[in-house]
Chains A and B, each alone.
Chain A
């Protein structure tokens, strides 16, 4: 799974810590998400989507090829 977290965060002018505080996780979790080292729970994906005002599927991109 890929994501556009870094791009959207930069566009909104948020630091990793600020985004982490908005969604109630540690900064390290945002770092892991951006590096693609962690797939978020549905709740965290929903909270992140809410911060950016985008649907979840526009932020977290599921790679069909990688899944099979």
Chain B
């Protein structure tokens, strides 16, 4: 239960921080900012969804984690690791050809890795693990 509360608290904290940042005039509305904001919101949405899954499991009196969810997570992680290698290769290639600063590129890489993990997780959920 404490992990569920922590998930929702973290999501609320991120939304609050972004909201305060936007209200205080920190946002310039550049493409990079909007991109990072979109990635952040997608990840917060994923966190909230996982939180609701935990609540639903508790209501149904079923375990939150079982062999399928563990294997789904492991498979998604390994798949996203391989894909992320290509993302970093692309970022290295782009680093000499763009005016973006290093910390922005690293931030994009980390955000990209999270999005790739989310994509892999959705892929595994949609197509299953029948050949594992």
Give the interface of A toward B (CB within 8 A).
1, 17, 20-21, 24-29, 32, 35-41, 43-44
Give the interface of B toward A (CB within 8 A).
57, 60-64, 66-69, 127-132
If A17-B60, A21-B61, A25-B62 touch, does A44 touch B128 (CB 8 Å cutoff)?
no
Contacts of B61 in A (CB 8 A): 21
Q: Whose C-beta in chain A lies nearest to the C-beta of B69?
A: A26
Contacts of B69 in A (CB 8 A): 26, 28-29
A36 engages B130 (CB within 8 Å): yes
If A21-B61, A21-B62 touch, does A37 touch B130 (CB 8 Å cutoff)?
yes
Q: How distant is the Cα of A39 from the Cα of B131 in the complex, in angstroms? A: 8
Quote the shortest CB–CB distance from B71 to chain A (angstroms): 8
Q: How distant is the Cα of A31 from the Cα of B24 in the complex, in angstroms? A: 48
Question: What are 29 A-B interface contacts by the 8 Å CB criterion?
Answer: A1-B130, A17-B62, A24-B66, A25-B63, A25-B66, A25-B68, A26-B57, A26-B62, A26-B63, A26-B68, A26-B69, A27-B62, A28-B68, A28-B69, A29-B68, A29-B69, A32-B128, A32-B129, A36-B128, A36-B130, A37-B127, A37-B129, A37-B130, A38-B68, A38-B129, A38-B130, A39-B131, A41-B67, A43-B67
